[in-house]
Structure 1
């Protein structure tokens, strides 16, 4: 890889949301993203900006100075007309205008879709919590460089309650599941290209455990868990697996394989995007 990529990680958590996540796992979502990206590059300079906190947004020419831009996940709901959702979409529009390649997970993908003219909506079923199961590449996705290295069907860390409703013009669906019709996509708009996934290749198994604990009340309310004890027991198993990825007994109980337990495979899409930047 090049000696130095100049990258931007965009946060869409509010300050309160970011601080709550720091108390839970020691890092806000954009900080986790940067940590994972740094682990995949020999040397990179990474800047942070928020697309929702009211700070000045760089102009497209300023954004074009970056080699690549990452949109981190967050609880933002892009189907709701809020100051935060409008601000995030404007930021992503400027990223497309800049021509700098961009990548996003979960809310990051939804922000890009709305900016390019698509829509989002709440999931019709319960939230997707823990892992997205049976992600399947579409015909377009099977040969797409974003999914290079993935099998035709795989699982991935996931945590979300909303999805893309309609793809924008210039969007191509690369992977789907039965309950989430758009799990991976490429979006071309204005001068730019965006690769994104609804799941979380940047998260560790321990961070998924922490997410389940943070959202325990929602999981119980949606009848996905009987009580907080059940959630804690499941999260504790995930913590054990995070600490020892060779625990096949735990992976078997949870129903996941090395597409999740192997860090190299789990971060496959991030590696593919970094390869795009190095062309």
Structure 2
């Protein structure tokens, strides 16, 4: 059985907003996705312990050490690393502790930024602007084409994305695996006995949830020039909801948003998470 630790990147207010909008916290929805992927990739049972490291009173279950888990997964967040608040630094501390304990770690968006900063890199507001909806024309580097994180990905692809910040400088012992014109998009870090794999995009996010996230980010999208007004954001979000509900249809919507049909397939969209479970987390659990 996979025994995973899932760290929610949001503080209490962020978790409440996410729950109000989607019906669950980021960690709860990520845990559900991890369970689905584990079952699809060999039928493994998956137990997820949820923790909120932004909170001062966050703690592992009594008597449990980080080394007891087969992996740590860190979600996205509405927090900003540049704030340097305790809610931020506590998450950096958890990332360092997990890597020092030899845990394999996967992070999406915020999770990748935290890993970069925790190991000596830099993250902050992206001078090239944000990506809202999809990260476009992602291209694996030569190292990325050979790396197991991106196994099964084509030479160019799109992926769900919602971010204004990005990794600006890679830490030592990091490998750039994919990028696009906007930002660093996938990295691997070896730090002491720990290994981190992560993406700036959100392989865990279904298109209906992505639409909700866009509505929550309407002000940023308009300020960044991604959409003209709130009506345009709502129309984009509505299209994503329809695509999620009817994955065999709506070629007109795929064409409108310049999307390949692979974005509708769970296995394709979640590929990096599946590779992490298959190639790092499950072998660690089997060896325990």
TM range, smaller chain: over 0.9
Does 1:278 find its partner at 2:278? no
Summarize deviations over 1:101-152 as a string: whole Å, max 9, x none. 1100000011111111111121113321000000000010001000001001
Residue from 63, 67, 72 that aligns with 2:66: 63
2: distance between equivalents of 1:174 and 1:259? 20
Which aligned pairs between 1:83-162 and structure 2 lie closer than 5 A? Answer: 83-162=86-165
2: distance between equivalents of 1:222 and 1:12? 23
Alignment-derived partner of residue 72 in structure 1: 75
2: distance between equivalents of 1:94 and 1:155? 33
1: distance between equivalents of 2:129 and 2:172? 28
Alignment-derived partner of residue 222 in structure 1: 224
1: distance between equivalents of 2:80 and 2:20? 22
Residue from 30, 34, 37 that aligns with 1:37: 34
Q: Is the contact made by 1:57 and 1:91 (CA closer than 8 Å) also made in structure 2?
A: no
Alignment-derived partner of residue 2 in structure 2: 5
Give 3-state SS (helix, strand or coil) of 2:54's partner: coil
Report the Cα offset of residue 252 of structure 1.
Answer: 1.2
* Segment of structure 1 superposing worse, 202-211 or 118-127: 118-127
Q: Which runs of 5+ in 1 are unaligned?
A: none
2: distance between equivalents of 1:126 and 1:166? 16
Report the Cα offset of residue 241 of structure 1.
Answer: 0.4
Report the Cα offset of residue 85 of structure 1.
Answer: 1.7
**TM-score, structure 1 length as denominator?**
0.95
Give 3-state SS (helix, strand or coil) of 1:79's partner: helix
Alignment-derived partner of residue 53 in structure 2: 51
Report the Cα offset of residue 56 of structure 1.
Answer: 4.3
Q: Is the contact made by 1:156 and 1:259 (CA closer than 8 Å) also made in structure 2?
A: no
Q: Is the contact made by 2:130 and 2:182 (CA closer than 8 Å) also made in structure 1?
A: no
Residue from 163, 166, 182 that aligns with 1:179: 182
2: distance between equivalents of 1:150 and 1:195? 15
Superposition RMSD in Å? 1.4
1: distance between equivalents of 2:198 and 2:274? 13
Q: Is the contact made by 1:251 and 1:257 (CA closer than 8 Å) also made in structure 2?
A: yes
2: distance between equivalents of 1:200 and 1:56? 25
Report the Cα offset of residue 57 of structure 1.
Answer: 4.5
Q: Is the contact made by 1:154 and 1:259 (CA closer than 8 Å) also made in structure 2?
A: no
Which aligned pairs between 1:202-241 and structure 2 lie closer than 5 A? Answer: 202-241=204-243
2: distance between equivalents of 1:222 and 1:67? 39
Q: Which runs of 5+ in 2 are unaligned?
A: 40-44, 284-288
Does 1:20 find its partner at 2:23? no
1: distance between equivalents of 2:106 and 2:56? 22
1: distance between equivalents of 2:117 and 2:205? 24
Summarize deviations over 1:183-226 as a string: whole Å, max 9, x none. 00001112100100000000000111101111112222223222
Residue from 168, 189, 192 that aligns with 2:191: 189
1: distance between equivalents of 2:220 and 2:258? 22
Give 3-state SS (helix, strand or coil) of 1:16's partner: helix
Give 3-state SS (helix, strand or coil) of 2:247's partner: coil
